[in-house]
Structure 1
Amino acid sequence: MGGSGKIEFANTLRGIAALSVIVAHYFDVYWTSPVTVSALTNAPLLNHQEIPVFVSAIQLFKYLNLNYGAFGVGLFFLVSGFVIPISLERKGVADFIVNRVLRIFPTYVVGFGITLLALLLSCYYFDVSWMYSRDEVLIHFIPGLRDLLWSRNIDGIVWTLEVELKFYIICALFVTLFKRGSISVFVIPVFIALIGAYASIVLPEYGESNAWLYIKLLTFIYPAKFIVFMFLGVVLYYYHSGKMSLLKTSLVSIGCFSLFAAMWVHGPEKNTATLVYSYAMALTFFVFAMVWPTCFQSNRITDFLASISYPLYVIHGVAGYVVLRILFDLGVAPLVSLFAVVVMALYISWVIHICVENPSQRLAKCLFRKKVLPLVSEFPQQIKQQTPPPPR
């Protein structure tokens, strides 16, 4: 543990994950996927005639089939799976839920607002029409609604928050098992995988006969495999805290990853199943960090990246693409453009962290320190104590 009470290697991995996602989007996707960038920014399609040498050098790992973005997201999911049981052991359900809500929603609302401003800038600069309806925008402000209502993904990153929220809900529902440190929690990913497998089997049938049910099945199948993957973080926490032996940890880990991979390979997104390799590399990297934590001790760079990792993740994508696209159109050199956009993303994320994320977390701690919200969990017991016994 670090001085702040955080597990140092996990906090360092959060910073590495943020850096990995930045590299994926600014040094890969922007240059190699112009159609994707055009769709996200509503800017005219731009095909890069020549990719800068320094960008090509960073892309060398792609020849090893490593996707930086999937690797970074995999690390984020594993860190969440690892630390959530700690929160559940220390807090009540109400405390946990309020803490998660105040951590995710205020920062995301501000970050998504910045994404919308960037899209407005793109529409103004390139003289194009606004492309989203009012309902699509409003729905997007509340992570967890978009996929349920089958609305378009505007910022390209909200899907990961939707997965996280579903994972949090599942953990809260089975809080008793987590507090006991019971290995029965690993029946949950098996159950999810079985439902996902059945949904994938019947999916083609409903695609032709029942569009509503088809959409609902897809809404379950897509995040289900990532929730199973997040339970790998729980497995590793159980081992780290002495709740499971090395043998049990190895067997459960192999089982969970096999379910995750099978759900992807045999699911409706099997055309992207090569990304399983990048998630496997994220798992390997996480295990390495857990076994040799001295290699991942706290330092200023990773601590800074870890502290701003969430706002950075929220705002860097579309806003960064828009600014890069405009700078490219103005003839600014690629190296200068990338440097400017990275600095911009880091600075805005730091401001959001200081002005929004930190105050939100302090509010959550203040509410429970003053015993405002624990009364909710104590209320049933108070009623029981105050209710007179029934007449004999």
Structure 2
Amino acid sequence: MVVSYHYVAFGEGWDGPQAQLFPVIFRPSAYGWLGVELFFMISGFVICMSCWGRTVADFFTSRVIRLFPAYWLGVLATTAVVTLVPGGLEPHAWREVLVNLTMLQWPLGVEHVDGVYWTLWAELRFYLLFALVVWRGLTYRRVITFCCVWATVALLAKGYGSGPLSDLVMAQYCWFFIAGLAFFLIHRFGPNLLLWGIVGLSFAMGQHTAMQTWRRSLHYVGHNIPGGGVAVLITVFFAVMAGVSLGWFHRIDWRWLPAAGALTYPLYLLHESIGWEVFHHLQYKVDRWLLLGGTVAGMLLLAHLVHRLVERPVSRRLKRGLSAAFAQVRAADTDDGRRPGEPAPPFGDTGRPASDPVTPPLETTAAAPRT
């Protein structure tokens, strides 16, 4: 959905109105930005599922190895293409690229190397908030409490126009994360009125906030796309997630699904700016339909190579390194920083030799004479 939106409806990459270049697929592609809302809902479901029974260290490690290897490659590859191919997008300064490699460019006011990276900052904020629950240990009650507190704070922040707080709790998009969390609880523990109430609240608020995003999207697509399609797609997303949580699709076990799922993240990271550069330079040399299809196929192949050659090996190394680092931290907390097999230090905190007996306090060695 997001790729079709950026390639066919966003108004970038092609010379001339895209509604005329791709009249058949332009209108459905104009709703493709809603794929982000679906992604946030899936993220709430999957993160809660994968973190159950894990520590904060496990949570941190899993998120780093999942996000950063492909992201680093995406930042560097996009920068290289934009810099080396003249006449297209404006290249970024090397300092901005360095900041982008941290994934923290948004709070620093640095422009994204690729526009789609804004969603990663939303993911990081979700991880930061949810880490508080992971730190205490995930339980049914704590996740429900987290959903209710997050929703309340988001409403207050939005209502009182609190900029920093509203940004932290993502008052615009939190409803899809919260819905995903509630759907996972339904999946794990079964449905009840409280969980369906959280889902219903998220659905109502999500419909409202999605319409705000739809109004902004009209600026990019350049056409008055009916808002009714937004309501329909949001409803479909919630219905599909309800079906997942209730086990309607448990018989679907197609072997190609994990392979396709593995491509989604590198495809998302790489497709936008690189694809636009391809369109800029080849649209007058190649048939537009062939160019569009070939670019999508090329991006899928590139995503596959990134997953096989970058994500897998780098993730394994990062996992080993971070696991060793956290093991060292735990060991330092239990043995005063000594490495395994290292003898005790000759002096303790008091400066006495470790082998010397501790002299009892004076008042316990002899009874004081009574007066």
Q: Please report the TM-score for the alignment, with normalisation by the length of structure 1.
A: 0.72
- Structure 1 residue 24 corresponds to structure 2 residue 5: yes
Contact 1:196 1:220 in 2 (8 A): no
Offset of 1:79 from its aligned partner? Answer: 1.7
Runs of 5+ unmatched residues, structure 2: 218-226, 337-343, 350-357, 365-371
Contact 2:116 2:269 in 1 (8 A): yes
Offset of 1:312 from its aligned partner? Answer: 0.7
Q: 1:286 aligns with which of 241, 245, 260?
A: 241
Looking at structure 1, the residues matched to 214 and 274 of structure 2 have their Cα atoms a distance apart, in angstroms, of 30
Looking at structure 2, the residues matched to 270 and 327 of structure 1 have their Cα atoms a distance apart, in angstroms, of 31
Distance 1:241 1:57, change over 3 A: same
1:373 alignment partner AA: F
After TM superposition, the structure 1 = structure 2 runs for residues 237-316 of structure 1, keeping only pairs within 5 Å, are 237-242=184-189, 245-261=191-207, 271-272=215-216, 277=231, 278-291=233-246, 292-294=248-250, 296-300=252-256, 302-316=257-271
Q: 2:312 aligns with which of 353, 358, 379?
A: 358
Distance 1:344 1:173, change over 3 A: same
Instruction: Spell out, residue by residue over 1:12-32, the C-alpha distance to the aligned partner (whole angstroms, 9 max, x if none).
Output: xxxxxxxx2222222332xxx
Q: 2:326 aligns with which of 353, 369, 373?
A: 373
Contact 1:239 1:249 in 2 (8 A): yes
Runs of 5+ unmatched residues, structure 1: 1-19, 39-44, 204-215
Distance 1:184 1:220, change over 3 A: closer
Distance 1:199 1:349, change over 3 A: farther
Q: Match of 1:322?
A: 277
- 3-state SS of paired residue (2:106): coil
Q: 1:349 aligns with which of 303, 306, 315?
A: 303
Q: 1:120 aligns with which of 83, 92, 104?
A: 83
- Structure 1 residue 227 corresponds to structure 2 residue 187: no
Distance 1:91 1:365, change over 3 A: farther
Offset of 1:161 from its aligned partner? Answer: 0.5
Contact 2:184 2:245 in 1 (8 A): no
Runs of at least 4 residues of structure 1 off by over 6 A?
A: 386-392
Distance 1:169 1:129, change over 3 A: closer
Offset of 1:381 from its aligned partner? Answer: 5.4
Looking at structure 1, the residues matched to 82 and 200 of structure 2 have their Cα atoms a distance apart, in angstroms, of 43
The structure having more radius of gyration, on CA atoms, is: 2
- Structure 1 residue 89 corresponds to structure 2 residue 52: yes
Offset of 1:141 from its aligned partner? Answer: 2.0
Looking at structure 1, the residues matched to 131 and 165 of structure 2 have their Cα atoms a distance apart, in angstroms, of 23
Offset of 1:304 from its aligned partner? Answer: 2.4
Q: Match of 1:139?
A: 99
Larger RCO: 1 or 2 (CA < 8 Å, sep 6+): 1
Distance 1:270 1:334, change over 3 A: closer
Looking at structure 2, the residues matched to 260 and 50 of structure 1 have their Cα atoms a distance apart, in angstroms, of 28
Distance 1:339 1:276, change over 3 A: closer
Offset of 1:343 from its aligned partner? Answer: 1.7
Q: Please report the TM-score for the alignment, with normalisation by the length of structure 2.
A: 0.76
Q: Match of 1:111?
A: 74
Contact 1:178 1:185 in 2 (8 A): no
Contact 2:8 2:18 in 1 (8 A): no
Q: Match of 1:184?
A: 145
Count of aligned pairs: 330
Offset of 1:175 from its aligned partner? Answer: 1.3
Instruction: Spell out, residue by residue over 1:213-237, the C-alpha distance to the aligned partner (whole angstroms, 9 max, x if none).
Output: xxx467447x332233212111000
Percent identity between the aligned chains?
Answer: 24
